Structure 1
């Protein structure tokens, strides 16, 4: 879909985790500057895509148009608890079909996780915004992407044709940065 720009967003620990062993994003991985960066990006997005255990949990979240990736439906279905959301099973319908169902044909699509959802779009990202908290470690945590136990998030992004841009410091005191990884050529 040529008028869509697909962007990914995640903050990871030094060991590439987006959540702890209980699959919960711990407070030590939450930084106000990263939250502001993330919120601003989502406010500009035409559509948010995430798994059923992910979400941004912000006051204006229910107003955002979204796709929830799940195996609980065969293809596409309305979300009974949110009129702005569509349930999508990638095994039963294409991404183009779910965008059509959501009425989104142009703009930025923000992919916000979890790991399997990020994996669905690895070869489609225009930009992936990788925020890093190098002082945080989450042993036994949930990797941000499939394959992170064998490779770093950066190696996985590079293997899928993305190149790192200039990192931007979000929180100097905690060394939190965000790096845009953009599709080559």
Structure 2
């Protein structure tokens, strides 16, 4: 689960080592894609080029409050068109957000980083992908052609791990 039943990431799901990994990965990205409720709220956030998914526009528009952001409705424009509109035609793209955002890019991932905090339980929470909890996130990633890499331990005391899922060639 990414959030609790109220669609909020509770403090018990926030870990310093995971936050540091996440922030460093976003710093290396040329573009960040996320839904309207996702914002990484970090010191570098205002400087990051981003595309915000929304259904409130027909296709593409400049964000009214953030000069670094583009609004994109996937039903009205392609991903490539959104990137071009945002002024980003090369580099690493980071996808953050919830299940609808993650699911949209499932066939495009070359790598998906799956964080897990096994001691945190969020009954009725917001899942990372559509199809969870009927299937595990690992089953969903594997069914879409991704293969687990070596699991990293981010916080041994709290049993927080991170696994790269790589596109099988």
TM-score (norm 2): 0.99
Aligned residue for 2:67, secondary structure, equals strand
Q: Which residue of 1 aligns with 2:105?
A: 121
Q: Does 1:173 align with 2:152?
A: no
Q: Which residue of 2 aligns with 1:20?
A: 4
How far is the alpha carbon of 1:103 from its aligned partner?
Answer: 1.3
How far is the alpha carbon of 1:106 from its aligned partner?
Answer: 1.1
What is the number of residues matched between the two proteins? Answer: 169
Name which of 15, 37, 50 aligns with 1:53: 37
Aligned residue for 1:154, secondary structure, equals helix
Q: Is there any run of 5+ residues in structure 2 with no aligned partner, and where?
A: none
* Distance in 2 separating the partners of 1:86 and 1:18: 24
How far is the alpha carbon of 1:46 from its aligned partner?
Answer: 0.2
* Distance in 2 separating the partners of 1:72 and 1:145: 22
TM-score (norm 1): 0.90
Q: Is there any run of 5+ residues in structure 1 with no aligned partner, and where?
A: 1-16
Aligned residue for 2:157, secondary structure, equals helix
* 8 A contact 2:98–2:127 mirrored in 1: no
**RMSD between aligned residues:** 0.6
Q: Does 1:106 align with 2:55?
A: no
Name which of 28, 31, 34 aligns with 1:44: 28
Deviations 1:65-96 (A, max 9, x none): 00000001100000011000000000000000
* Distance in 2 separating the partners of 1:136 and 1:92: 38
Which structure shows the higher strand fraction?
1
Q: Which residue of 1 aligns with 2:19?
A: 35
How far is the alpha carbon of 1:60 from its aligned partner?
Answer: 1.4
